[in-house]
Structure 1
Amino acid sequence: MSQDEPIVALRSARTDVIDAVREVVALADRPVVVHPPGAGPAPARLLVDSLEERTPEDPLWVRPGSRSVAVRMQDADVSSPALRRTHASGEGRPLQLPADAQELLTLVRTAARERRAKVIGVVGARGGAGASCLAAALARTAVDRGLGTALADLDTCGAGVDLLLGIEHSGGLRWADLSTGDGSLPHDQLAAALPSWGGVRVLSADWRGGPDTSQGSEALDALAAGHDLLVLDLPRAQAVWAGMCDVVYVVTTCDVMSGAAARMLAAGWQGGDLRLVVRGPAPGGLTAAEVAQACGLTLAVSMREERSLAAALERGVAPGENRRGPLRRGALAALRDLDLVDE
């Protein structure tokens, strides 16, 4: 993002909402650029939307690479249709002001941090699509190409990416060990405290759980400030994390049911740069291009099935460590798709 880009943009015409947001943002010594209700997404690192003024006809207040959050005043009518719509658009829990002022302030401070990394999200269209494996392969391939890389596990329904990588017994912090919540987490200290996998700094969930929105935002922004590339292993049920991604790769297998799942996911994750990764096999003879056309997504990468992957994982060989396998070649193609590595 440009250094001249505003930090906070607010969509509202209500004086009480504008004053409440400005009061919080002023604590971070930042201005607020106010836009009228119904405006399209503004160029800013944090997009704040007044939930009670939102209508179904309004453009989504989201844009790739920016964080989005909805706010409402504490005395708002919690049964209003606008409140229910926030969950459909993937923003997560709306913040109540002034009660959640500290959480909003943390989001402002983390958004103000200079971001060095390209942020790639990876999400599976369905369970078992191979998203975590691709995320790991992307991170490992990037490190081998000389990019400082971090991998963050946000899919708390899984067993933890550290187990997938075979570093579950390695020392270092997991999500449950992080407690700082004021937006001041030093990126160098965080990276040094995380386990390393082949040069990739890994922030994993474990049996104790994953991040909440405020904690996650701070840690991810710290990692983005200190690396060239940040790869996020995203959960399907929480589009809120996709907001900070420059691009999200939706991973699907080459069959009708998986393609339909990818289409449904894409419909719910509007406003971002979503691209499709299709991997084999194709039991019914579908092509990757046909799956992409059915999903309405741009086909970024098509890869063959890596038949030895499941057995390799059981033996402790992590995804992407087979440099000649389809997964590694697919990860390299994705990095080339983003112009992060040379041919």
Structure 2
Amino acid sequence: MTDELLTLVGADLHEDVARCAAAAGYRIVPGSPTECRREWLRAGAIAVDGHAIDELTGLAPPRRAGIVMVTAGEPSAETWRAAMNLGAEYAVALPAEESTLVGLLTDFRAPATNPAAAIAVIGGHGGAGVTTLAAAVALAGADLGPRVLLLDVDDLGAGIDLALGIEGRAGLRWQDLTVAAGAMRASALHDALPHVDDRLSVLAPRPDSHHPIAVEPVVAALDAARAEGDTVVVDLPRAGGPVTDAVLDTVDLVVVVTTATVPGAASTRQVVTRVRRHGVWAELAVRGPAPSGLRAAQVAATVGLPLLAAYRSDPGLPGRMDAGRLRITPRSPLGRAARAVHRAADRATRVAA
């Protein structure tokens, strides 16, 4: 956890909370209940007032420790129950109980396990190779950590389960989920999904369904996995929409994939502009070859993102995928790019911390 205090309080309580945070050694991170998903699990502690609790109740973020309700008076029984449902165990009246709040915040700084990284992969243009890289990142994550949840939220794509050779395996798809945010447990979700192996589970659209993927189950799956320390990899569609916006508001790192071409770079600039509106850290992966000799560093400079990885296409990969499923080795170009993504995600989460 970090030494940051996410404050979801009104102006009437802000100065009191800030004074207590400074005394306990925290840095204040002001937030909005409707736009705090990324910070909700990353912050060392959270201070919420009654108005914020009312808003959060409708949004149902995952329960967590380190939440304290701050009030200017006695909270109602209904507000107190809603706060406890979020994970709050304490209510502090300010300014009378400032010393109590300082003590609680100090106790919350005990070491705890950080949530694992959440990574989104999005194309700068059509045919950039997003699904292949996202699948490779998930496979590499399963080699590097205990458990990975791979989410394919592109309901117009071929399906990342097809790339992994598990499209015929039993398990839930997006259209089977009706669970609301905050009501899902990652361990149960993993058991219900198609698996590549015991470390990697995949949630993809049902190809024969005409129902679009809904925002609520996507947010629920992301929140549940992050809360239990799973690495999450999301294959995002290039077109915007509510699902894409919700993912970009939650993940720690966005990997924008492009090719080393002038039209590809021009299209990618537009995608990068949209991604940046969400305040999420983004880096660029450039897939070769470069027919005109355009260098990956030049592409990165053109689109305005740090260069994460430059890797060449494997001409034999499509045939191998048609014959079975995607397999990568750590030393292959795709394998090195996938591991570079995980290193970038580690950097992004450390910066957030």
TM-score, normalised via structure 1 length: 0.69
2:60–2:181 CA contact under 8 A, matched in 1:
no
Q: Distance in 2 between matches of 1:165 and 1:334?
A: 19
Q: Distance in 2 between matches of 1:154 and 1:170?
A: 18
The residue aligned with 2:129 is 130
Q: Distance in 1 between matches of 2:114 and 2:220?
A: 12
1:64–1:272 CA contact under 8 A, matched in 2:
no
Seen in structure 2, the aligned counterparts of structure 1 residues 178 and 5 have a Cα distance that, compared at 3 Å, is farther
The residue aligned with 1:110 is 62
Q: How many equivalent pairs are there?
A: 266
Q: Could you tell me which amino acid in structure 1 is paired with residue 57 of structure 2? A: L
Matched, 1:334 2:341: yes
Q: Could you tell me which amino acid in structure 2 is paired with residue 217 of structure 1? A: V
Q: Distance in 2 between matches of 1:44 and 1:309?
A: 47
The one of 247, 253, 277 equivalent to 2:285 is: 277
Matched, 1:218 2:220: yes
The one of 232, 247, 254 equivalent to 2:234 is: 232
The one of 243, 246, 257 equivalent to 2:263 is: 257
When structure 1 is superposed on structure 2, of 108-117 and 121-130 the one drifting more is 108-117
The one of 30, 38, 41 equivalent to 1:65 is: 38
- For structure 1, the 5+ residue unaligned runs are 14-32, 34-41, 49-61, 68-100
SS of the residue 2:183 aligns to: coil
How far 1:338 moved relative to its partner?
3.4
Seen in structure 2, the aligned counterparts of structure 1 residues 219 and 103 have a Cα distance that, compared at 3 Å, is farther
How far 1:110 moved relative to its partner?
3.3
Seen in structure 2, the aligned counterparts of structure 1 residues 191 and 259 have a Cα distance that, compared at 3 Å, is same
SS of the residue 1:181 aligns to: coil
- For structure 2, the 5+ residue unaligned runs are 12-17, 19-27, 41-52, 65-85, 87-112, 348-353
2:328–2:334 CA contact under 8 A, matched in 1:
no
Q: Could you tell me which amino acid in structure 2 is paired with residue 224 of structure 1? A: R
Q: Distance in 1 between matches of 2:54 and 2:180?
A: 9
How far 1:226 moved relative to its partner?
2.6
What's the CA shift string for 1:303-335, capped at 9, x where partnerless?
1111111212211231x4355431112111222
The residue aligned with 1:18 is none
Q: Distance in 1 between matches of 2:307 and 2:153?
A: 24
SS of the residue 1:286 aligns to: coil
Q: Could you tell me which amino acid in structure 1 is paired with residue 120 of structure 2? A: G
Taking only aligned residues, the RMSD between alpha carbons, in angstroms, comes to: 3.1
Q: Could you tell me which amino acid in structure 1 is paired with residue 266 of structure 2? A: A
What's the CA shift string for 1:268-307, capped at 9, x where partnerless?
1222211000010100000000000000111111111111
Q: Could you tell me which amino acid in structure 1 is paired with residue 337 of structure 2? A: G
Q: Distance in 2 between matches of 1:5 and 1:308?
A: 50
Q: Distance in 2 between matches of 1:182 and 1:63?
A: 14
The one of 242, 254, 259 equivalent to 1:248 is: 254
Seen in structure 2, the aligned counterparts of structure 1 residues 294 and 216 have a Cα distance that, compared at 3 Å, is same
SS of the residue 1:179 aligns to: coil
**Identity rate, percent:** 35
How far 1:182 moved relative to its partner?
5.3
Q: Could you tell me which amino acid in structure 2 is paired with residue 6 of structure 1? A: L
Q: Distance in 1 between matches of 2:33 and 2:264?
A: 32
Seen in structure 2, the aligned counterparts of structure 1 residues 333 and 272 have a Cα distance that, compared at 3 Å, is same
The one of 294, 301, 305 equivalent to 1:293 is: 301
1:278–1:288 CA contact under 8 A, matched in 2:
yes
When structure 1 is superposed on structure 2, of 284-293 and 202-211 the one drifting more is 202-211
Seen in structure 2, the aligned counterparts of structure 1 residues 183 and 64 have a Cα distance that, compared at 3 Å, is closer
When structure 1 is superposed on structure 2, of 119-128 and 1-10 the one drifting more is 1-10
TM-score, normalised via structure 2 length: 0.67
Q: Distance in 1 between matches of 2:55 and 2:206?
A: 24
The residue aligned with 2:50 is none
2:252–2:345 CA contact under 8 A, matched in 1:
no
Q: Distance in 1 between matches of 2:171 and 2:288?
A: 35
How far 1:233 moved relative to its partner?
0.8
Q: Could you tell me which amino acid in structure 2 is paired with residue 256 of structure 1? A: V
How far 1:105 moved relative to its partner?
3.5
The residue aligned with 2:93 is none
Q: Distance in 2 between matches of 1:104 and 1:301?
A: 38
Q: Distance in 2 between matches of 1:131 and 1:6?
A: 34
Highest Rg: 1 or 2? Answer: 2
